[in-house]
């Protein structure tokens, strides 16, 4: 991965490059930031730059033998650890190495913009929760105890460090505290609260902010040939998440569908129109299927966040297509500090339930009844 292939983050790229030029690469770094912001692409470009034999001032060369192996993710000094679980092929003792072929294929397909639920879908682990196992920590320990095969630095990228269980974290901590020579650990995480504090305190924090509206918009125009307006709408909805921005740009129709269903649904919930929302759940929401139901709920969360912006007199910060902006402006008075956290928790919980294969009709009906009550809290 070249730095040039990564959307946005110009300042951060410069900082990372500078650290290599000045030979002050910290041996354990935690790339932390929201989903879809580009943490993994940055980690991959950084790793490639560090080991490129012909790097320039601003990027790796992309053609030297080291770069080529980094780009195909097959460099012998590049190691990955990520969450796994058993599936139809690996029936017991899952660990990253057993899934490395799938992992490389997935990373290349999504150009580094990885997403936990997409990855679990790819692995087909059904509704199991993937974790980073203690076996992973043992394996990486063993691998890093050898000298680098070909390059100066051995690099271990640990994706979703919040999925380390206590046992594997402890094992890894020892390694981070007494690192083998010329070894770089890049830990990637999305949720600081879920991360063990012992891990957090031993790494240099590299904050990766969400993408800006404009950089997302121009990337959509360049990469997908969207019109400026389509790209703007998708970028606005994505809230700085490139994975969502791509979904929205490719599924412009879906987004309008979500807007229509959501607006109707919220009206019924507010009126407490039970038979109408039962009908909606059966005819409009259930047929969406799980992935779209999840996106639909995420769409709802985005509307709640934007409602708060209206309520705090920040209408210019509301990034929605015009008709949805109009709906949100009228809807905003029903979202307030007394109900907003419960509403967001309710939607997040519904997303979790859908991810865990709960019965969608029950999830959405339950959500409708609760919303009916919450929307009336003044």
Does residue 77 contact residue 181 with C-beta atoms inside 8 Å? Answer: no
CA nearest neighbour of 114 among 80, 160, 69 = 160
Stretch that binds Zn ion, among 38-46, 53-61, 172-180, 312-320 (CB under 5 A): 53-61
* Residue 257 interacts with Zn ion (CB under 5 A): yes or no: no
Q: How far is 221 from 284, CA to CA, in rounded Å?
A: 31
State the CB neighbour count (10 A cutoff) for residue 210: 18
Instruction: State phi, psi for 49 to the nearest 5 degrees.
Output: -65, -45
* Residue 20 interacts with Zn ion (CB under 5 A): yes or no: no
Exposure b/e, 247-265, CB count within 10 A at least 16 = b? bbbeeeebbebbbebbbeb
Q: How far is 285 from 132, CA to CA, in rounded Å?
A: 34
* Residue 241 interacts with Zn ion (CB under 5 A): yes or no: no
- Contact pattern for Zn ion over residues 61 through 80, marking x by CB under 5 A: x--x--x-------------
Stretch that binds Zn ion, among 13-21, 39-47, 56-64, 220-228 (CB under 5 A): 56-64
Chain centroid offset of residue 127 CA: 19
* Residue 60 interacts with Zn ion (CB under 5 A): yes or no: yes
- Least distance CB 4 / Zn ion (angstroms): 13
- Least distance CB 43 / Zn ion (angstroms): 17
Place of tokens 């989903």: 35
Nearer CB in complex with Zn ion: 73/173: 73
Tell me how many residues contact Zn ion (CB under 5 A): 6
- Contact pattern for Zn ion over residues 21 through 40, marking x by CB under 5 A: --------------------
What is the number of alpha carbons within 13 Å of residue 335 lying toward its C-beta?
25
* Residue 17 interacts with Zn ion (CB under 5 A): yes or no: no
- Least distance CB 17 / Zn ion (angstroms): 14
Stretch that binds Zn ion, among 60-68, 74-82, 118-126, 167-175 (CB under 5 A): 60-68
Residues contributing to the site for Zn ion (CB under 5 A) = 52, 54, 60-61, 64, 67
């Amino acid at each position: 991965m070249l730095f040039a292939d990564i959307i946005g983050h110009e300042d951060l790229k410069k900082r990372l490059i500078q650290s290599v030029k000045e030979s002050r690469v910290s041996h354990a770094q935690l790339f932390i930031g929201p989903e879809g912001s580009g943490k993994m692409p940055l980690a991959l470009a950084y790793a490639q730059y560090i080991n490129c034999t012909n790097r320039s001032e601003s990027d790796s060369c992309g053609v030297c033998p080291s770069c080529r192996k980094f780009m195909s993710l097959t460099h012998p000094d590049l190691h990955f650890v990520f969450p796994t679980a058993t599936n139809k092929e690996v029936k017991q003792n899952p660990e990253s190495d057993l899934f490395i072929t799938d992992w490389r294929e997935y990373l290349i397909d999504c150009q580094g913009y990885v997403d936990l639920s997409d990855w679990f879908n790819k692995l087909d682990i059904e509704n199991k929760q993937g974790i980073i196992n203690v076996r992973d920590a043992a394996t990486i320990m063993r691998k890093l105890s050898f000298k680098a095969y070909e390059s100066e630095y051995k690099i271990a990228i640990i994706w979703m460090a919040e999925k380390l269980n206590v046992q594997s974290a402890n094992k890894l901590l020892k390694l981070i505290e007494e690192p083998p020579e010329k070894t770089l650990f890049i830990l990637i995480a999305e949720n600081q609260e879920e991360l063990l504090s012992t891990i957090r305190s031993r790494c240099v924090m590299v904050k990766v902010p969400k993408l800006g509206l404009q950089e997302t918009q121009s990337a959509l125009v360049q990469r997908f040939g969207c019109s400026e307006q389509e790209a703007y709408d998708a970028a606005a909805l994505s809230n700085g998440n490139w994975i969502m921005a791509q979904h929205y740009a490719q599924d412009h129709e879906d987004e309008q569908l979500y807007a229509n269903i959501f607006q109707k649904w919220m009206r019924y919930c507010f009126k407490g129109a039970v038979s109408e929302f039962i009908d909606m759940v059966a005819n409009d929401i259930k047929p969406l299927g799980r992935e779209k139901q999840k996106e639909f709920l995420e769409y709802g969360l985005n509307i709640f966040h934007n409602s708060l912006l209206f309520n705090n007199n920040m209408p210019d910060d509301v990034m929605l297509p015009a008709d949805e902006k109009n709906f949100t402006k009228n809807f905003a008075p029903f979202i307030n500090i007394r109900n907003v956290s419960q509403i967001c928790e309710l939607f997040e919980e519904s997303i979790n339930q859908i991810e865990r294969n709960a019965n969608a009709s029950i999830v959405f009906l339950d959500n409708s009844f609760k919303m009916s009550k919450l929307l009336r809290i003044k």
